[in-house]
Amino acid sequence: MIYLQLFLSFLQIGAFSFGGGYAAMPLIQEQVVTSHRWLSMAEFTDLITISQMTPGPIAVNSATFVGIKIAGIPGALAATAGCILPSCIIVTVIAKLYLKYRNMEMLQGILNSLRPAVVAMIASAGISILIGAFWGSNEAIAPGATNWKLVMIFVISLVLLQKRKMNPIWVMVLAGVLNVAASAF
């Protein structure tokens, strides 16, 4: 039964997560943390971090990791299959339709109208992860509970990425080193 639950949960995520992995994060959070309570918010934040650091799409990596945690290798296979099946079907159908109707003005209008919704989903996911990292949960945001060490690492990382245009891999390595060094003192 758990395999079917994993498959159906990630089938929903795969079917409705337009805009890529970051846009899928709120949907993954809803299924994994809120609905089924397979992971806590802290575990979900760790999952996103690990999914970001490993090769491949975030949604597929998340499905694999959740599946392994909940039901081992068969769970990982069920969750991953559920996550990628809608994409395979949808991309095949859309490719055929797009090639046939790509010059149609209404299609271009529909694609343009989806962009703001995708940006909002990505922003929602980012804010949710920041809250979890800085305050530990989505429910208790108190200035006294702020993890200032992580806030400083975030600000430094942001400056290095945006202003210095530093390679993201080096920024992740530096953030890890800074966290270990700050924890040592």
Residues 6+ apart with CB under 8 A from 142: 135
Which residues of the chain fall below pLDDT 50?
none
pLDDT at 139: 57
Task: Give 18's DSSP letter.
Answer: T
List, for residues 57-72, the tens digit of each pLDDT value.
888 999 999 999 999 9
* Residue pair 125/22 in contact by the 8 Å Cβ criterion: yes
pLDDT at 12: 92
pLDDT at 56: 83
pLDDT at 143: 63
Amino acid at 7: F
pLDDT at 49: 86
Positive/negative CA dihedral, 90, 39, 35, 132? negative
* Residue pair 168/161 in contact by the 8 Å Cβ criterion: yes
Instruction: List Cα–Cα distances, 90 to 30, 55, 170, in angstroms.
Output: 22, 23, 36
pLDDT at 133: 82
E strands, 38-107, in order: none
pLDDT at 41: 87
Is residue 63 packed enough to be buried (19+ CB in 10 Å), middle (13-18) or exposed (0-12)?
A: buried
The whole-angstrom separation of Cα 59 and Cα 154 is 23
Task: Give pTM, 2 decimals.
Answer: 0.58
Look up residue 12 and give its two tokens: 């929903």
